[in-house]
Amino acid sequence: MAWDFSTDPEFQEKLDWVDNFCKNEVEPFGLIFPYAVRSRHPKIKALVKGLQDQVKAQGLWAIFLDEELGGPGFGQLKLGLLNEIIGRYPTAPQMFGSAAPDTGNMEMLAAFGTEEQKERWLKPMLNQQLWSAYSMTEPHGGSDPRLFKTRAVRDGDEWVINGEKWFTSAGRVADLLFVMCTNGMFVVPRETPGVEFMPEPRAHNHIKYTNVRVPLDHLLGPEGDARTLAQRRLGGGRIHHAMRTIARCKLAFDMMCERALSRESHGQIISEHQMVQEKIADSYAAIRMLRLFVLETAWKIDNSSTSETRTDIAGVKFTMAKVLREVSFNALHIHGSLGTTDLTPLQAMYAAAPTMGIADGVDEVHKVTVARNVLKSYEPHEGLWPREYIPAKREQARAKFEPLFEKDPELREVAEGFERMRRGRAAAARAR
């Protein structure tokens, strides 16, 4: 039986390199040059390239892709260990060529795209020459594909798309929109006539598609199979979100502990107050449980598939939002008034927790998925009493031992002595 929580030394060297690189190179760069990866300024592009070349030299570029899809093929478990470092730094995912929403779209292209589509779109996306967004949810139906209305109709050598999408994150700054229609997944260049961006929201865009025409070869994967592509994308996306959430929780926890040892209140360092200790203890346990849950789920994916691990992926999805909300609030609270400002990451972290409970499907839907799938492995008990009803189990046990008691009356007397003692204790308890 294999049961191991260790990391092999060779990969640990990679993790140590990533930790040092992110701490000493990526974070300072991101603080001075935010959004640098998308900058067209030649000097900024040169600085970005220098950092990304170091990543590529380590074999850590596009770490989310399997080897057969053009990536390093680390698998989900190793990816989880990498992401709990990278996710701590806002700029790091783009420096490693693994930032959402591009990651999921590249996974769909790599898995379902034709060679021509990969050449036209995937390679430029991997090289960060093109940026993308995922246009799935709709104003009236949320993330429930059964309620979607956006549809593509074939007209000669073109598809004509009509519909309305909501919460297309980063759509306004994307080059390509991956639009989920009722009859397929379509790649739509943002500048295509008929693509109209509503004024609000600014970051998570509301888009109307009115007689949007794209060539036939802009259909990704088989016609009518959009849900298969979406599940491929979202299954991986949910576990990746969870991996990065661990990093954010650990950052909040580190800040919490540092602050608790640094501030004084009512004549004591605040770490000596029991209510502060309770927040630290609860946060520590919650992060450890989430981390083990995420890494075990990643291991299961590596040894089966995302579809076979969908119950655990759904469980991870709603658990990560809960832990992020609780830990970031505890850290914010211990920081006092400073925690409510934008001078630390905590306010943004706490504000992001509700979004994490909605993005990629609301938590309630995932809880239903978990409950339904778990219940499939159970059966109702027969009769009035559950299987663990102790009087019935005791009768079954007596029946099992009866042949032995017939052969050994002394053993029967010992058993009956225990029974008299049990009944005496029960009577005494009732009399209290």
- Reported as a single tens digit per residue, the pLDDT across 95-105 is 999 998 999 99
Q: Tens digit of pLDDT for each residue in 153-162?
A: 999 999 999 9
Q: Is 169 left (phi over 0), alpha (psi -120 to 50) or beta?
A: beta
Q: How far apart are alpha carbons 368 and 409 in whole angstroms?
A: 54
What's domain 227-375's architecture?
Up-down Bundle (1.20)
- Per CATH, the number for 9-113 is 1.10.540.10
* Phi, psi (deg, nearest 5) at residue 185: -105, 130
pLDDT at position 145 is: 87
- 209-235 average pLDDT score: 91
Q: Where are the domains of the chain?
A: 9-113, 132-220, 227-375, 390-431
Query: The pTM is what?
Result: 0.89
Confidence of residue 237 (pLDDT cuts 50, 70, 90): confident
Reference 80, options 230, 235, 241; nearest CA is 241
Q: How far apart are alpha carbons 94 and 336 in whole angstroms?
A: 32
Per the DSSP assignment, residues forming a β-bridge with 204 are 169
pLDDT at position 182 is: 96
Structure tokens at 48: 């970005």
**What's 75's DSSP letter?**
-
Fold that domain 132-220 belongs to in CATH: Butyryl-CoA Dehydrogenase, subunit A; domain 2 (2.40.110)
Q: Tens digit of pLDDT for each residue in 61-115?
A: 999 988 877 789 999 999 999 999 999 999 999 999 999 899 999 999 999 999 9
pLDDT at position 70 is: 78
Reference 330, options 314, 307, 362, 353; nearest CA is 353
Confidence of residue 431 (pLDDT cuts 50, 70, 90): confident
pLDDT at position 228 is: 87
pLDDT, mean over the chain: 94
Confidence of residue 307 (pLDDT cuts 50, 70, 90): confident
Are 176 and 233 spatial neighbours (Cβ–Cβ below 8 Å)? Answer: no
